[in-house]
A = this chain, B = another copy of it.
Amino acid sequence: MASIMKAPRSARVDCETCQARVDGLCSGYSDSTVEFISGYRTNDRHLKAGQDLLNLGEPCDAIFNLVDGWMFRYTILADGRRQILDFALPGAVLGFHSPLGATISFGAQALTDAVVCVIPHNALGHLSQRQPDLGLRLALLMARERSLSFDHLTSVGRRSAHERIARLLLELFVRSRAGWPGYQIEEMHLPVTQEHIGDATGLTGVHVNRVLRDLGKEGILKFSYRRLSILEPDKLMDLAGIDQELLQSWTGSGRSEARAQGDLAGGCRQAA
């Protein structure tokens, strides 16, 4: 798919390795087989858990495609308060902020060891010339991220602590599994602490703990030391106020969405 050709311009050096990675953008989740096809990936960065991808206040001239691992985006206020903006799973695009050469205002930190593919901003122009749909696909991805952000805003602004936490855990479960637990007890490793949950939901770590105790007592779920057990999926879904359609938008598996992606990916392959 990614044919090898000499690069006539310096910016093109990165294009070939990036091409395959960019191909995965619109799906929202990267296809691991692409890595083998594209051969050696020279532009990858490997992060250890807890390490930052971007340093706040520095300019940023690239976007990043998360290949492996979990990360999260955050803001730090002057007095140290932290707000986690969202959690990034493989396939996410990080560092695409409006002003191209401007200093960034959001950090991105690895929750687990992680690998990101670096796509310089100037390569984007070349890529989008060869692949006319790239821009619209990126726009769609950004729009989806914005919708997710709207969702979080609604949670933090108008839902109770119980609802917010139930919702967040459910979201992370569904997004990482790319599916709804169904109606059986489910268990998984979630690489976040209660402090992370607090910073994502606008609560204190201490209060998160109390709410988790409540949810445990009610037999809905258990979470401690990065291990989540969903004991009563239906009760959890009820508490979180989730409907089926929303679940689909998280996984990108909705019927209409699949159709839309099909269109775009189709046009994409024609162009290549």
Contacts and interface: CB of A to CB of B under 8 A. Distances in A.
Given A77-B154, A81-B158, A98 B140 contact: yes
Interface of A: 73, 75, 77-78, 81-83, 85, 96-103, 105-106, 124-125, 128-129, 132-147, 149-150, 152-154, 156-159, 199, 201-202, 241, 245-246, 249, 254, 256-257, 259-260, 263
Given A85-B153, A136-B135, A103 B245 contact: yes
A84 to B, nearest CB: 8
Copies of this chain held together in the complex: 2
Interface of A is mostly: helix
Contacts of A263: 100
Contacts of A256: 99-102
A220 to B, nearest CB: 19
Nearest to A140: B98
Nearest to A198: B157
A191 B145 CA distance: 29
A100 B260 CA distance: 6
22 contacts: A75-B154, A81-B159, A83-B157, A85-B153, A97-B147, A98-B140, A99-B249, A99-B254, A99-B260, A100-B259, A100-B260, A101-B260, A105-B246, A105-B249, A124-B136, A125-B136, A128-B133, A134-B135, A136-B139, A139-B139, A139-B141, A142-B142
A75 B150 contact: yes
B98 A202 contact: no
Contacts of A97: 143, 147
A25 B144 CA distance: 19
Question: Which of A99, A103, A202 is packed against the most chain B CB atoms within 10 Å?
Answer: A99
Contacts of A245: 102-103, 105
Contact of A143 (B132, B142, B159, B199): B142
B241 A78 contact: yes
A124 to B, nearest CB: 7
B143 A254 contact: no
A98 B150 CA distance: 13
A143 B96 contact: yes
A249 B157 CA distance: 24
Contact of A153 (B136, B142, B143, B152): B152
A125 to B, nearest CB: 8
A233 to B, nearest CB: 19
A147 B105 contact: yes
Most buried by B among A101, A146, A246, A254: A146
